[in-house]
Structure 1
Amino acid sequence: MPVTAADLHAATAALEAALAPVVDRDWTAAAGTGDLDAYRTAEHVGDCVLSYAAQLVTRRDDRYVAYEAALMKDATVADALEFAVTGGKLLAATVAVTGPEVRAYHPTGMADPEGFAGMGVVEILVHGEDIARGLGVALDPPADVCARVLERMFPEVSVAAEPWTALLWATDRVELPGLPNRAGWRWQGAPLRD
């Protein structure tokens, strides 16, 4: 079963459910992804998913569309979460109206709408998990969404773990006994059949 706009909606709903109750906290003091704090990680998510939508709309075949989306200087934590969620919904809307034959540039291969949907779900869930951990809350995405995204974006991954844990392992967020870490991981942007 393909990764679809519905999966993006489910991922953004999981993100919002986990993080909306903690928008009263200081996200600039909480860990996010890498060197980014939770606030800047939410900004990164919004920028990424909006850029994926732009790729599909323009159908660029040689580079990213030359823009960067960022939060306004006075944006609140609630605004940062809204930006990430809105970006996910805009990508979902774009995926829903884009034909499966469309391809657009991504460094991991000329991706189709399903590939961009999968990338968006990974961005939303994995960086959402980074934010959630930093804030001491749990992100609980649907297992079926994680399973579809794992199969599409990481076809080489076959581990005996529930889908959310396997997705976190595939993106080097958790360790699994007896398996190597996934530092330097890459997803499969281009369709598997191409």
Structure 2
Amino acid sequence: MTVTADDLEEAIEYVAAALGPHTDGDWTRTAGGLDWDCRTTAEHLGDTLLSYAAQVVSSPSDHYVRFLATADAQASPAELLEFALTGGRLLAAAVRTATPQSRAYHPTGRSDPAGFAAMGCVELLLHGDDLAQGQGAAFGPPRGICARVAVRLFPDQEPAADAWDTLRWCTGRIALPGRPRRTEWSWRGAPLDDGSGPAR
């Protein structure tokens, strides 16, 4: 159940459709359960996705490519969403053109393009949900993507009946019946078949 550039592009289109109608709202509102407002969350999302794209393209073995991407201070909510989704599109392009054997640094294990695609999907979907909550928008992403991402990044976790619930539980967003909300968690960046064991 590998995660691909197609999954990233589907996640991008879902987030664009869910949030696009809400770019006339107040993006200084708090984003979901975060300490950030929607503007800061969108900027973080764009920076993270661009950083993942840089990792895939440059393949550093022991560090992040050193840069920080920020949106213009005067960017409108529509432009902030564009910035975030542009990071996702560049990551999708990087994943699509990378060789499956390439590896790049991530703190949770040197990752392959599929791993960075999965991480990108998590960032898009979880922070997309944060932004949707901040704007009072409905959000229910494609369950197939959620299932593939959960298997790739959280292979030791038992799936719930709903794959979106699985992903949110794995990342400490919700509790599930018989499973309290996680206060500490980490995903696995390294490929599942590299023999390195669980992520730190």
Superposition TM-score, scaled by structure 1 size:
0.96
1:20-42 CA distance string (max 9 Å, x none): 00000011123356221111101
SS at match of 2:28: helix
Cross-structure match for 1:38: 38
Cross-structure match for 1:72: 72
SS at match of 1:29: coil
Cross-structure match for 2:8: 8
- Unpaired segments ≥5 residues, structure 1: none
Q: CA RMSD in A?
A: 1.1
| 2: CA distance, partners of 1:69 / 1:172 | 26
Partner amino acid, structure 2, of 1:175: A
Cross-structure match for 2:163: 163
Deviation for aligned residue 1:178: 0.9
Deviation for aligned residue 1:142: 1.0
Deviation for aligned residue 1:160: 2.8
| 2: CA distance, partners of 1:189 / 1:132 | 27
Cross-structure match for 2:107: 107
SS at match of 1:62: coil
Cross-structure match for 2:180: 180
Partner amino acid, structure 2, of 1:63: H
**Conserved 8 A contact 2:46-2:69:** yes
| 2: CA distance, partners of 1:99 / 1:24 | 40
Deviation for aligned residue 1:169: 1.0
**Conserved 8 A contact 2:2-2:152:** yes
Cross-structure match for 1:141: 141
Partner amino acid, structure 2, of 1:99: T
| 1: CA distance, partners of 2:83 / 2:178 | 39
| 2: CA distance, partners of 1:29 / 1:37 | 5
| 2: CA distance, partners of 1:183 / 1:98 | 34
The alignment covers a number of residue pairs equal to 194
**Conserved 8 A contact 2:30-2:36:** no
- Pair 1:66–1:39, CA change in 2 (3 A): same
1:78-136 CA distance string (max 9 Å, x none): 01100111111110000000001100000001000000000000000011111111211
| 1: CA distance, partners of 2:56 / 2:33 | 26
**Identity rate, percent:** 53
SS at match of 1:46: helix
Partner amino acid, structure 2, of 1:142: P
**Conserved 8 A contact 1:59-1:104:** yes
Cross-structure match for 1:54: 54
